[in-house]
Each structure stands twice: as C-alpha cells, then as structure tokens.
Amino acid sequence: MCEIRPNHPAEDQHSPPIVERSTIEAVLGPLAQAWPPDCWRDVTTIAAVSGGPDSVALLRAMLALRRPGAGRVIVAHFNHRLRGQESDDDERFVRHLADQWELACEIGRADVPDQHPKPTDRLGSEEAARIDRYAFLTEAAARQGARYVATGHTADDQAETLLHRLVRGTGIRGLAGIQRHRQLLHGVSLVRPFLQVRRGMLIEYLAVLGQDYRQDSSNQHPQFTRNRIRHDLIPRLESEYNAELTPALGRLATLADEVQQWLEQQASEWLSASALRDSWDQAGPVDLDCRVLRQVRPLLVREMFVQIWKSRNWPRQAMTFEKWNQLARMVHQGVHDSQRCQSIFPGGIIARRTGDRLTLDKPDQPL
C-alpha cells in the first residue's frame, strides 16, 4: 500500500493552497491504495482515454504517481465515429494530450456507421461499442506487451450501472456491478482503480491542475435510460431518500461481489464432484450425476450451469433466470419423473436426463 505525502507548507513555500492539496490527495490517495504505483512502475500500462473528465483525470493522476522505473504509460483512444466531427475532435484532443506528456498513443477507429443509433437501438449499439472498444484495448495491450489496461470508471458509474441493472432485472452477479479488475488476456489485467472516487472530485482535481477535457454531448440526451438514471433518478433519490446513495450502492456491489465469488467457488467444487467420466475437463458432452447434485441448493446448481456454459462458450444472452431454473429442476426431479426427458435451450444446447444422469451437449455432437 502506498501513502501519498504532499510537501508540508513549512517545508515548501511553493506548496498549493490547503483546499487544492486536499483535492489532490482525495484523488491520488485512493488511486495509490487501490493500485499501488510499485505494481506498475516497471511494466507497460495502457491508459484508456476517451477525452472525458474521468479518463483524463486517470491519466494525469497516473503521471503524478508514476515512479522511476522501466515501465511505460501508453495512451489508447478508440474513436467510435458515432458523433461525427465531435468524435474526431475527441481523438485530436487525446492525441494532443499524449504529445504534451511525450507519451505513445494508440488510436483505433470503428467502421463508419450506416446511421446514428435510434433510441430503441441504444442498448444494442452501446453493447456493440463496448465490445469494439475492449477488443481494441486488448489488441493494443498485446501489441505493446502491456501488463495492465486502466480505465477511469468511477463510483458514479458503479451506482448508475447497479440501478440500470435493477431496472432491467438482475441477480447477484449483476449486483456486483463493474468489476474492479479482470483478465483481458493471459498476463494482461484490466484495472479500474477509481471505482471508489466520485466523478465530481475528479472534475475538481482537473480544475486544480488547469487541465481541460472533452464532453460527450450524447450523455445529455434524456431519451437514453442511462442518462435519465444519471441526471434524474439518482439526483432525486439522493435529495429525497439518501444523500449517500452512491457510496451505499458501492458497498452493495462490494458485498455482492464477495457473495458471487463464494458462489463460484462452491459451484466449481460441486461441478468437479458431480462430473462423470472426467467430462468436465474434456471437449464434448458434459455428464452430471444427479444423485450428487440433489444435495445442492438450486442457487448453487444454477451457478454451476453458468460455469459450464462459460467454459464451453455456449451462448448465454438468452439464458434467462427461468432457463437456468429449468435446468436446476431437471437435476432435482425424481427418478420416476425422469427416466428419459429432454429440453433444448438457446443456441441449440440439448439437456437430456436419463435416470440419474444429466447430459449437456451441442446438437452437432450426438448424445
């Protein structure tokens, strides 16, 4: 853990005013604690910079904390080309910022869209944009030999994400919110060290530095659900119900993440215990012993099936709670009801119960 120690006024007559020092500490302190500079001083790190205040603050804070070492900080920007000239101006701004600090800059560009997304298409277009953006960041990390990719997601992003998921419907995994870190590639980690820092504090930090940034005009459009959550729902909840809503949601995400990790560990153990013929570790069908799994609560059985789907790269988008529950019922139903029953799930995945055996497979691989 790293402690930030700004110079004391008595030691440095050029120290910034107390209010400015407080703002700087409020940003650099949490960053150093969440992601100690010694972890990345000797490795290459990609800083994902959109040009907005969060990512620009991340870059400036990283540069403030950077210690002498063999590592490099590389700026990466993905131009989604969804806002015409505004998108191109964002790209130019990020290039200029990287040049100012003598940093290498990776630029990616999306294909020119046929048209701007309609409000009804926003969720799909946002997901497609996210996939494109992270594909670019992953490729940039591999090309540059980076150990980390850092993004500027904040506590406000976490709160908005949780509320958005609650509105649409979610479970424990969804309540865990934005992950603080995850693996992009072998040896490459995605880190989000600002998840406990408020966006307003980052804007104050940039003001102290005299650092400008870009604004995405589409973030103001009220026809998009996430914007209404940001500009209407959260302010109303904070003013009328709980002024500390955002940190409260952050704590909920942390607790849900801990529960989710426990669930995954338990489910993995039960999966290993119930898999027949070492089928879990091999390609092809997965055979499960329902006599073992009948001891397990449906919550863990559902999580176990999620792990199977992920390991086989089977489609999960259309696997609703009802679908996962249907699989759990196939495990728990009595033998007399299941001498031979079969269900087909999204993506053509076949689940067949024969006696005490449940077999999962793809349709092009005969059971």
Instruction: Give the tens place of pLDDT for each residue, 297-352.
Output: 999 999 999 999 999 989 998 999 999 999 999 998 876 655 578 999 999 999 99
Distance CA 133, CA 150 (A): 13
142 close to 185: Cβ distance less than 8 angstroms: yes
Phi, psi of 76 (to 5 degrees): -130, 130
Domain with CATH 3.30.465 in the chain: 275-361
What pLDDT score was predicted for residue 12? 44
Phi, psi of 305 (to 5 degrees): -65, -35
Distance CA 360, CA 314 (A): 11
Question: Which CATH entry fits the domain spanning 275-361: 3.30.950, 3.40.1440, 1.25.40, 3.30.465?
Answer: 3.30.465
Confidence of residue 18 (pLDDT cuts 50, 70, 90): confident
Confidence of residue 197 (pLDDT cuts 50, 70, 90): very high
Reported pTM: 0.85
Residue 3 has pLDDT above 90, yes or no: no
What pLDDT score was predicted for residue 81? 86
**Residues in CB range of 16: below 8 A, 6 or more apart:** 24, 208
Per-residue burial over 167-182, b if 16 or more Cβ lie within 10 Å, else e, is eeebbebbbbbbebee
Residue 345 bridge partners (DSSP): 349
Task: Give residue-wise pLDDT tens across range 204-226.
Answer: 999 999 999 999 888 888 888 89
Cα distance between the two ends of the chain? 53
Task: Kindly report the average pLDDT of the chain as a whole number.
Answer: 88
Task: Give residue-wise pLDDT tens across range 137-170.
Answer: 999 999 999 999 999 999 999 999 999 999 999 9
Task: Give residue-wise pLDDT tens across range 99-121.
Answer: 999 999 999 998 865 444 454 44
H or E element in which residue 32 lies: helix 18-34
CATH architecture assignment, domain 18-254? 3-Layer(aba) Sandwich (3.40)
Residue of 216, 219, 218, 202 whose CA lies nearest to 59 = 202
Q: Which DSSP letter does residue 118 get?
A: P
**SS3 assignment, position 169:** coil
Residue of 134, 130, 179 whose CA lies nearest to 153 = 179
For the chain, percent of residues with pLDDT exceeding 90: 74
**Average pLDDT, stretch 40-58?**
97
Domain with CATH 3.40.50.620 in the chain: 18-254
Burial class (CB in 10 A: 0-12, 13-18, 19+), 140: buried
Give 286-292's long-range contacts (Cβ < 8 A, gap of 24+): 286/312, 286/359, 286/360, 286/361, 287/357, 287/358, 287/359, 288/331, 288/357, 288/358, 288/359, 288/360, 289/356, 289/357, 290/331, 290/332, 290/338, 290/353, 290/356, 290/357, 290/358, 291/356
Tell me which of 122 and 207 has the higher pLDDT. Answer: 207
